[in-house]
Structure 1
Amino acid sequence: MALLRLAVCVGGVYTMFLVWAIAQERLSVPFANRDGTKSEKFRSALIMSICQSAFSIISSFIYILLRREPGESLRSALGLDPARASSKSVAPYKPDANGISPKSQMNGNGHANGSAHSHPSFESVAIRKALLVRYLQCALFITSAAPFGFAALAHISYPAMVLGKSCKLVPVMLMNVLLYRRRFARHKYLVVALVTAGITMFMGFGDQTSGKGHSSGSDETKGSSIIGITYLLINLAIDGAINSTQDEIFDRYNVTGQQMMFWINVMSTFVTTIIALLPLPYIPVLHPSASWSSELSNVLQFMREHPGVLSPLLQFAFTGSLGQLFIFETLQHFGSLTLVTITLTRKMFTMILSVVIYNHKLTSGQWAGAAVVFAGISVEAWIKRRGALMLTEILSFERANNSSS
């Protein structure tokens, strides 16, 4: 049964995210209009985010309902029951059989009184509010990151984008140190060095005469590549803030990945929909449409003139939402080591598939740079595997000693 579940998870991650990657790259190239006289690019990362987050709400909600325990309330299943939350900064709320918090059974002098300050609802509301604020923080980060990632594709190739996204460990470590003062093992700095060297090789050994979107002029191509790399670095920095905040949520609160997925996508959809409805001026990357126009109205007009964009947009949203479910299922049942292995090999196949389908040309130096990046990530996976095996041996030894005594 476990082997079958693993096979389903691996197949799901590979299938969903390979199709998702193809759809994302297709959205970054021009679409012909109805009469075929001209082609234009789809530039709205905001609408892409709305579509994917809306699909993710539906898929995660269905998953939570299917996995809900018998008799469990919907609020508890969605992670809003304070009895299911524990925090390092907010005292855990654990009710007794009557649903009354032990703290509420006595006042500050130890007498059974139940003052307003120690009422269980006061504590539960505080925990729930703090948790929802963290979810909103992640949603705002995600809303900010997506446009920079999509804008980078106009200036660098998709293989370069995939390789850059494989370097997420660097900004995640940096943001964990800057935002939450965490420390890391020494081997992680070796991984960061390898990843940084690999991405530098990949960008440095690229064919400067065949930059994306430019057929001539090396100065123009170099300038475009620098812009693309800058957008990618901004995207990675915000991604690091997202992941470090998610780590903080898991550390402080007893929530599942699917619950986090549901609420972050609810808030992301809410925020991005409001932005899409507002008439905003031209803002590079964030709002590339015409001045003082609604993003949603511009995209609907684009879809009417370029109907070919609808299919890859739906593929992007649908496969992205299902792919997240397979990732959280893998993490829940098989741990982070297995997930790292699956996602690492998936990124390799994504890059190779992009090269084959869209006929990208990579130099030998770029392939070497990619190998260095994946070697660095493999070191991280190997260290995690060795640590997991050592922990398993220690636990087995302790169980053997306990049973013998």
Structure 2
Amino acid sequence: MNVPERSRFLIYALGIFVCYFLYGIVQEKLTRGRYGEQVQTDGSVGEQFTFALALVWVQCVCNYIFAKVLLAVKPQKEDTTHTGSYAACSLTYLLAMVSTTMAMRWVPYPTAVVGKSAKPIPVMILGVLIGRKSYSWTRYACVLTIVLGVILFMYKEGKVANLPAETTILGEVLLFLSLSMDGLTGAVQERIRAASSPSGQQMMMSMNFWSTLMLGFAMLLTGEVKESLHFALRHPEVWTHLSLLSLCGALGQFFIFLTVANFGPLACSVVTTTRKFFTVLCSVLLFGNILIARQWLGAVLVFAALFVDMLYGKKQSPAAALSSKKPPSDGGRLSEEKKKLIS
């Protein structure tokens, strides 16, 4: 069944929203909940799961298995992508994730909001510089408007933390590194799409394979393998939470890679950036929470930009349009003449 392009995009976006909404609930329970009844040195009861590398590693393993099963059930054409491209993409993806996690501890709240919301910008810039992608001016304007709208909507007054200058600078450096790695990930994915056009399942399997290896090596170096395993053996209910988290993550990543493979990293970054916006907006509509004028302005900007992008964002950039109008080369003319002779 041929599903229209826009309908497919909406299905993928909805899949990302739903899966990561459930993912967030389970993650909150896993990382902020307490396990056991043992009294800690600070007087709190129960232990917390603090093994970030192990958490991501388990998800990468499950994502790899999930994609492998999908490809076994429905075989596809051979993926001709160079192994190094997937390895590089996995490395930049992991560095972005780690840098973001570390940066959020050491940057003021306004900087964190801007950093979380500005992901599409480096994806777009490095997609042009490295991924050899071209966009129309309309798309540039729409993406910037979406980012601005999300920042206006998500920002909350009264959350500016008084952090030491050295700590803030370190956090900003990490945030810049994170955004740069996000941009590089998108650029490499654009190159992969242009070179070999792998399916979403193939990208998902290969990237998670390399991510599993890299994280496994990091866990061995840090000793987190032994510590996390002992924690899980002490508190068996962790396995249930990890399983649910991995299921939601695998389904969510499946939709993410379908979006990347079919619509590109920029479209995917816009979806993931607006995901939290739509989550908060749904809570407002469902539970009657009040929005202030700035948040309404942000909501209007996001919806207006998304609407304009749907109508006009697919148009070619001037450079791409000119290149498509270039006369065929001698080789092209020869091939055309051969076709005429054959016919």
Contact (CA 8 Å) 1:49, 1:146: kept in 2 or not? no
> 1:175 offset after TM fit, Å?
1.8
Per the alignment, residue 58 of structure 2 pairs with: 51
Equivalent residue for 1:173, pick from 120, 124, 127: 124
Counterpart in the other structure of 2:70: 63
1:273 corresponding residue in structure 2: 216
Q: Given the superposition, is the C-alpha separation of residues 269 and 13 from structure 1 closer, same or farther in structure 2, using an over 3 Å criterion? A: same
Corresponding residue for 2:156? 206
Q: Could you say if the C-alpha distance between residues 206 and 308 of structure 1 is closer, same or farther in structure 2, counting changes exceeding 3 Å?
A: farther
Distance 1:54 1:224, change over 3 A: same
2:141 corresponds to:
190
Gap change, CA 1:268 and 1:331, over 3 Å in 2: closer
The question of 1:20 aligning with 2:23 is answered yes
Structure 1 residue 253, shift from structure 2 partner: 2.0
Partner of 1:299: 228
Maintained 8 Å contact 1:162/1:347: no
Q: Tell me the secondary structure at the aligned position of residue 156 of structure 2.
A: coil
CA RMSD of aligned residues (A): 4.6
17-26 vs 161-170, greater mean Cα deviation? 161-170
Match of 2:84 in 1: 133
Partner residue, 1:256: 199
**SS across alignment from 2:38:** coil
2:239 paired with 1:320: no
Q: Which has the higher helix share?
A: 2
> Aligned ranges for residues 6-405 of structure 1 at < 5 Å?
12-35=15-38, 37-38=44-45, 41-68=48-75, 77=77, 79=79, 85=80, 131-151=82-102, 165=116, 167-180=118-131, 182-198=133-149, 201=152, 206-208=156-158, 219-220=162-163, 231-278=174-221, 280=222, 294-304=223-233, 309-329=238-258, 346-352=275-281, 364-366=293-295, 368-369=297-298, 371-373=300-302, 375-384=304-313
Structure 1, 166-175 or 295-304: larger mean CA deviation: 295-304
Q: Distance in 2 between matches of 1:380 and 1:21?
A: 28
- Aligned equivalents of 1:330 and 1:200: distance in 2? 23
Larger CA Rg, structure 1 vs 2: 1
Secondary structure of 2:135's partner? coil
2:148 and 2:107 map into 1 onto residues whose CA distance is 18
SS in 2 for 1:207: coil
Q: Distance in 1 between matches of 2:11 and 2:150?
A: 32
Q: CA deviation at 1:20?
A: 1.7
2 CA distance for matches of 1:237 and 1:364? 32
CA distance in 2, matches of 1:254, 1:63: 18
Could you say if the C-alpha distance between residues 335 and 255 of structure 1 is closer, same or farther in structure 2, counting changes exceeding 3 Å?
Answer: closer
The residue that corresponds to 2:324 in the other structure is none
Deviation at 1:329, TM superposition (A): 4.8
Question: What amino acid maps onto 1:34 in structure 2?
Answer: E
Separation in 2 of the partners of 1:224 and 1:306? 35
- Tell me how many residue pairs correspond in the alignment: 307
| Structure 1 unaligned regions, length at least 5 | 70-76, 80-84, 86-127, 212-217, 281-293, 388-405
* Cα pair 2:150 2:302 within 8 Å, conserved: yes
**Post-superposition shift, 1:338?**
9.5
> 2: distance between equivalents of 1:331 and 1:344?
14
Please report how far the alpha carbon of residue 11 of structure 1 lies from its aligned counterpart in structure 2 after TM superposition. 6.1
